Amino acid sequence: MRIITDQSTRVFPDDRAVVTIGAYDGVHIGHLAVIEQVRRLAAERGCRSALITFDKHPATVVRPESAPKLLTGPDRKIELLEQTGLDALVIVPFDDAQAAESPESFVQRVLVDCLATAAIVVGDDFHFGRDREGNVDLLRKIGLDAGFDVEPLELIARDDGIDEPVSSTAIRRALAGGDVSRANEMLGHPFEVRGSVEKGDQRGRLLGFPTANVAVSSRICLPADGVYAGWYERPNGDVHQCAINVGRRPTFYEHAEISLLEAHLLDFDGDLYGETARVRFVHFLRSERKFDGIDALIEQLRTDVESARTLLIDDLD
């Protein structure tokens, strides 16, 4: 997959393209359905396939006070998109100037001049451009003169009886409730966060359960405070079972300001400081709570570790 950051020149000089456009945060199963349609149409028409996205979530520029936490950072999003078989990923810088660009100007500059678009596939609720003025109807109107078709696609419905489509918003809501299993079903892959391992207060080690304190960007979504079973990947590719605590550790701190992510790697003894960790959430174990004393906490930690081990082993069977 080619990654294009300069939209001033034609990406495929000798070919037209079938494209889609969006934030694609999470690259979930709804996104994958759109991408599959893009690739199918491109193959049928003898075109290239391309996806247009942005270097940051547009909401961080147009409404930063209410911008959503991200399901995927830029590197993770690119990795997931590289697995789709697309020919090109076009990354548009999103700033105040981009936010002010009219839908018509954006279509001409990116869809027509840069990609020579033959068809565009989007969800039927798609909006774009200044103040979200652009929509499917406008794309169709512009396409009549510019020579491209518009293929709206119905959004993928959830399969749990809730009457809403799969979306990044629905996944964030599931994570906010600690329901990582439901979030993962909608994502189509385990929810993952990344961060560097930093020194903490060493309480886990003193309790007999050393943890990697993973510093996750404040822009990234975290599941609800609680204890989870999951997987921890080191930079060398080694993957370890782990019990994960997200929370403020109320047994020790009465008024902690932020939630921390700590991962206890099962059957591991080594130095992780300074490494970049990839932590994948698979099962919710319990909510975070305050314990009456150290002994009660240690006993619960033993239970958490064995529960994590059992669930993760069962997943491998």
Beta bridge partners of 262: 213, 245
Number of separate domains in the chain? 2
Q: Is residue 266 part of a domain?
A: yes
State the pLDDT at residue 41: 96
Give the span between the Cα atoms of 93 and 67, in whole angstroms. Answer: 17
Could you tell me if 17 and 125 lie in one domain?
A: yes
Q: Tell how many helices (H) and how many strands (E) occur in the chain.
A: 10, 14
Could you tell me if 207 and 92 lie in one domain?
A: no
Q: Is residue 289 part of a domain?
A: yes
Give the span between the Cα atoms of 181 and 107, in whole angstroms. Answer: 38
Range of the structural domain that residue 196 is part of: 191-316
Q: What is the mean pLDDT of the chain?
A: 92
Query: 131-148, pLDDT tens digit by residue?
Result: 888 899 999 999 999 999
Give the span between the Cα atoms of 136 and 142, in whole angstroms. Answer: 10
Calculate what percentage of the chain has a pLDDT beyond 70. 95
Query: How many CA atoms, within 13 angstroms, populate the side-chain half-sphere of residue 131?
Result: 1
Instruction: Give the domain CATH number at 8.
Output: 3.40.50.620
Sign of the dihedral through C-alpha 24, 28, 31, 36? positive
Examine the pLDDT at 97 and tell me if it is beyond 80. Answer: yes
| Alpha helix ranges (H) inside 85-127 | 96-100, 103-106
Give the span between the Cα atoms of 46 and 140, in whole angstroms. Answer: 21
Q: How confident is the model at residue 126 (pLDDT cuts 50, 70, 90)?
A: confident
Give the span between the Cα atoms of 123 and 285, in whole angstroms. Answer: 35
Q: Is residue 161 part of a domain?
A: no
Query: 164-186, pLDDT tens digit by residue?
Result: 889 999 999 999 999 999 999 99
| Alpha helix ranges (H) inside 202-276 | 203-207
State the pLDDT at residue 296: 87
Give the span between the Cα atoms of 258 and 248, in whole angstroms. Answer: 6
189 secondary structure, DSSP code: S
Q: Where in the sequence numbering do the catalytic residues fall? A: 262
244 close to 279: Cβ distance less than 8 angstroms: yes
State the pLDDT at residue 218: 92
Give the span between the Cα atoms of 208 and 217, in whole angstroms. Answer: 28
Instruction: Give the domain CATH number at 223.
Output: 2.40.30.30
Q: Is residue 169 part of a domain?
A: no
Q: Is residue 171 part of a domain?
A: no
Q: Is residue 186 part of a domain?
A: no
Query: 3-37, pLDDT tens digit by residue?
Result: 999 999 999 999 999 999 999 999 999 999 999 99
Examine the pLDDT at 205 and tell me if it is beyond 70. Answer: no
Average pLDDT over residues 247-270: 81
Could you tell me if 114 and 35 lie in one domain?
A: yes
Could you tell me if 127 and 40 lie in one domain?
A: yes
Query: 276-291, pLDDT tens digit by residue?
Result: 999 999 999 999 888 8
Examine the pLDDT at 251 and tell me if it is beyond 80. Answer: no
77 close to 56: Cβ distance less than 8 angstroms: no
Calculate what percentage of the chain has a pLDDT beyond 90. 77
Q: Look up residue 207 and give its two tokens.
A: 């309790």
Could you tell me if 40 and 149 lie in one domain?
A: yes
Q: Look up residue 259 and give its two tokens.
A: 């939630």
| Alpha helix ranges (H) inside the chain | 29-45, 59-62, 74-82, 96-100, 103-106, 136-146, 168-176, 180-187, 203-207, 294-316
